[in-house]
Amino acid sequence: MLGERELLQLIEANDYPARLVEVGVVWVEVETTDAQTNTVRRERISKSMFADLILDWRSRRAVRVKDIAPALRKIGIAA
């Protein structure tokens, strides 16, 4: 099971826009900030669902980097 430290590392390592509010044995309560609207949503979800959110976030961010990689290479930034 993921502890609070591991959950914080997941959030920080993936630049996920969330803040841990409370951590239970099998659930986590997080405040998530929507970057487009700056709204904050608090929800309590299972740790496995939270891990799925992180994986989804990671895959969506990877696609964006792939989309702009040619432009970054053109201006001299390796991506």
Residues 19-66: pLDDT tens digits? Answer: 999 999 999 999 999 888 889 999 999 998 998 998 888 887 766 667
pTM over 0.75, yes/no: no
For the chain, the domains span 4-74
Determine the pLDDT at residue 60: 79
> Is the CB of residue 34 less than 8 Å from the CB of residue 43?
no
Q: What is the DSSP string of 8-75?
A: HHHHHHTT-SEEEEEE-SSEEEEEEE-TTT--EEEEEEEHHHHHHHHHHHHHHHHHHHHHHHHHHHHT
pLDDT confidence bin for 77, thresholds 50/70/90: low
> Is the CB of residue 10 less than 8 Å from the CB of residue 24?
no
